[in-house]
């Protein structure tokens, strides 16, 4: 269990949040032209990184807004929190 | 040649105060080259090595394990074994395993304490009732024993369950698979390790894989913390770390690794002689031979390799347990832990070849891999030895995520996750 600093509400208990999986997976611009392999890549394949991973979170029991997080999955340490639409931090 | 374990060997060794037991497996340094290397020395990996050596005559193989054998999810699960899955492909896979379990102690000459005490799955709402009845019929069509029980029959089979109809999620019925049960998880790893070692398999512990060397689409060998090992075939059975190993070979898998928690209580006298699972309220419980209640909690929803889960997951499970079993209200919990489970989008495993020749993956068992250990090892050994899947694991290929032919066991199985 950890504390999450919601960019809209401030620091809250993780229990209020819902994890939304890997971030920055772009929806295909031309879905009708996708091959089966490309669909599989978009829908199912995940980096599932051990280390710093970018992911989406939702403040489900709070402001209900989505935001992004950079988190080290090997020890659950949160490295950065940034809003949807912003670029992931480079450091 | 290993000495056979028996009442006589027990007696003989008692005379020397149990100080002269033969070593169960060696501690070899890795050779320069093997015919195949299995990555991961858990139950599934060791079983794979055992069946490769036994049924496919491949003795020049190694199992590399980054920690100690059976120290990962093999020693962290809640030891439940059952095969009452809905779909034909799953029924075939899990019942294959259950049939091997039934003779495993004799085959390995190692007591895995397989106990067919039955697994009961409870229904708490009308949809549960419909789903469980449907699954009972599907199981019986596949030759898997299953019966549907009404509330009174549930109470009769396990009297400590609170079946009063005024609780938040009353018990409306349940299913029972009598051939299902539990086994001692450590013994499964040790039994397979001892059996594989006897046939010449090298079990190399404290040996972490650092890289996979390939030329084009062919495997050349494996980089480890104990040096480079040349091999043409690699079988990866790395559970929660499957994606990490896949990444070394430049592959991506449809997996997410998440923490799954379990806990045990202080030991008490026999109070529950079966396994009871409840999907809707997420509570399942059995009692170990030591007398501890063994309780499985759920997974967290975020990716993590930390082997720690969230407190509220445990709290939610215990709330449900206490409503169903008020008699446990003053039990104290002794230990709690987490393991990292690799979950597939369709909650079914992957036992498959890959786009790289000689690289095979056995992963995606998610929250329910222990029950399949012997079957998984047997079928994965077949896949590696023949470079083709067995008909029982053909449906569990990686390509199903491209073709769309998924084996969707989310909620359809009796799983409590």
Confidence of residue B98 (pLDDT cuts 50, 70, 90): very high
Contact between chains at A47 and B312 (C-beta distance less than 8 A): no
Averaged over B24-38, what is the pLDDT? 97
Instruction: Give A-chain residues touching B311 at CB under 8 angstroms.
Output: 1
pLDDT in tens, B308-340: 999 999 999 999 999 999 999 999 999 999 999
pLDDT of residue B411: 64
Q: Is A70 domain-assigned? A: yes
Residue B414 has pLDDT above 60, yes or no: no
**ipTM reported for the complex, 2 dp:** 0.95
Domain count of the fold of chain A: 1
Residue with tokens 């139950």: B43
Partners of residue B257 in chain A, C-beta under 8 Å? 48, 50, 73
Q: Residues B275-284: what's their mean pLDDT?
A: 92
- Give residue B410's pLDDT: 77
B97 Cβ contact partners less than 8 Å away, ≥ 6 residues apart? B81, B83, B371, B372, B373, B374, B375, B376
Burial of residue B145 (CB within 10 Å: 0-12, 13-18, 19+) is: middle
Residue A13's CATH number = 3.30.2270.10
Kindly report, residue by residue over A32-69, the tens digit of the pLDDT. 999 999 999 999 999 999 999 999 999 999 999 999 99
What is the mean predicted confidence (pLDDT) over B114-130? Answer: 96
Checking if the pLDDT of B33 tops 90, the result is yes
Q: Please check whether residue A90 lies inside any domain of the structure.
A: no
- Residues of B within 8 A of A76 (CB-CB) are 304, 306, 308
Does pLDDT of A91 surpass 70? no
- Tell me whether residue A91 is in a domain: no
Residue numbers of the domain that contains A75: 3-83
Residue in chain B closest to A40 (alpha carbons) equals: B402
Query: How confident is the model at residue B157, as a pLDDT?
Result: 97
Say if the Cβ atoms of B254 and A40 lie within 8 Å.
Answer: yes
Q: Around Cβ B44, how many Cβ atoms within 10 Å?
A: 33
Report, as an integer, the average pLDDT of A63-86.
96
Q: Please give the pLDDT value at position B417.
A: 47
Q: Phi and psi (nearest 5°) for B152?
A: -65, -40
Average pLDDT over residues B190-204: 97
Q: Who among A18, A40, A73 is closest to B401 (CB)?
A: A40
Is residue A22 in some structural domain?
A: yes
Q: Quick check: is A89 in a domain? A: no
- B-chain residue closest to A39, CA distance: B402
* B301 at interface of A, judged by CB pairs closer than 8 A: yes
Question: For residue B261, what are the CA distances in angstroms to B55, B222, B352, B362?
Answer: 35, 32, 28, 22
Which residue is listed with tokens 């709330």? B319
Task: Confirm whether A23 is domain-assigned.
Answer: yes
A18 inside 8 A of chain B by CB: yes
Are B292 and B266 in contact, with CB atoms under 8 Å apart?
A: yes
Residue B312 backbone phi and psi in degrees, to 5: -65, -20
Q: How far is CA B175 from the centre of its chain?
A: 22
Q: What is the pLDDT of residues B336-366, one digit of tens each?
A: 999 999 999 999 999 999 999 999 999 999 9
CA distance B340 to chain A (A): 11
Percentage of chain B beyond pLDDT 90 is: 95
Q: Do A73 and B243 touch (CB under 8 A)?
A: no
Report whether pLDDT(B234) > 70.
yes
User: A59 lies in a domain?
Assistant: yes
Kindly tell me if the per-residue pLDDT of B148 is higher than 70: yes
Partner-chain contact B305 A73, CB within 8 Å: yes
- The answer to whether residue A88 is domain-embedded is no
Going by DSSP bridges, is the β-strand pair B359-363/B350-353 parallel, antiparallel, or unpaired? antiparallel
Average pLDDT estimate for B34-45: 98
């Amino acid at each position: 269990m950890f504390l999450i600093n919601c960019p809209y509400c401030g620091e809250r208990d993780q229990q209020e949040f819902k994890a939304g999986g890997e971030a920055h997976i772009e929806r295909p611009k031309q879905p009708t032209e996708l091959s089966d392999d490309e669909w599989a890549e978009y829908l199912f394949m995940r980096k599932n990184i051990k280390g710093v991973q970018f992911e989406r979170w939702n403040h489900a029991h709070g402001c209900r807004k989505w935001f992004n997080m950079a988190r080290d999955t090997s020890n659950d340490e949160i490295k950065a929190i940034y809003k949807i639409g912003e670029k992931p931090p480079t450091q | 040649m290993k000495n056979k374990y028996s009442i006589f060997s027990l007696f003989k060794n008692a005379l020397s105060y149990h100080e002269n037991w033969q070593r169960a497996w060696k501690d070899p340094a890795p050779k320069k080259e093997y015919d195949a290397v299995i990555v991961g020395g858990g139950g599934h990996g060791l079983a794979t090595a055992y069946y490769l050596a036994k049924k496919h005559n491949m003795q020049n193989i190694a199992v590399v394990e980054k920690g100690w054998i059976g120290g990962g999810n093999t020693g962290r699960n809640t030891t439940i074994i059952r095969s009452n899955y809905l779909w034909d492909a799953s029924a075939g896979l899990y019942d294959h395993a259950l049939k091997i379990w039934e003779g495993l102690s004799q085959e390995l000459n190692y007591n895995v304490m397989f106990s067919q005490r039955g697994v009961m799955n409870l229904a708490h709402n009308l949809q549960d009732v419909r789903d469980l009845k449907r699954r009972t019929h599907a199981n019986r069509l596949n030759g898997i024993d299953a019966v549907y029980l009404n509330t009174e029959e549930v109470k009769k089979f396990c009297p400590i369950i609170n079946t009063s109809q005024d609780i938040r999620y009353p018990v409306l019925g349940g299913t029972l698979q009598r051939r299902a049960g539990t086994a001692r998880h450590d013994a499964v790893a040790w039994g397979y390790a001892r059996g594989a070692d006897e046939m010449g398999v090298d079990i190399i512990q404290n040996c972490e894989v650092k890289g996979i060397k390939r030329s084009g689409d062919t495997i050349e060998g494996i980089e480890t913390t104990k040096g480079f090992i040349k091999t043409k075939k690699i079988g990866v059975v790395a559970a929660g770390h499957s994606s990490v190993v896949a990444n070394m070979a430049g592959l991506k898998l449809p997996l997410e690794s998440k923490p799954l928690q379990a806990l045990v209580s202080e030991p008490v006298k026999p109070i529950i002689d079966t396994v009871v699972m409840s999907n809707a309220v997420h509570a399942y419980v059995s009692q170990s031979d030591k007398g501890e209640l063994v309780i499985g909690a759920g997974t967290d929803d975020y990716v993590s390799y930390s082997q720690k889960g969230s407190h509220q997951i445990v709290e939610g499970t215990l709330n449900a347990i206490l409503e169903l079993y008020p008699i446990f209200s003053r039990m104290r919990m002794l230990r709690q832990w987490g393991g990292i489970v690799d979950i597939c989008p369709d909650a079914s495993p992957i036992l498959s070849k890959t786009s790289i020749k000689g690289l095979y993956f056995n992963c995606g068992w998610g929250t329910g891999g222990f029950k399949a250990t012997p079957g998984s090892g047997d079928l994965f050994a077949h896949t590696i030895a023949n470079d083709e899947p067995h008909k029982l694991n053909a449906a569990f290929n990686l390509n199903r995520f491209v073709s769309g032919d998924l084996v969707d066991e989310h909620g359809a199985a009796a799983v409590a996750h």
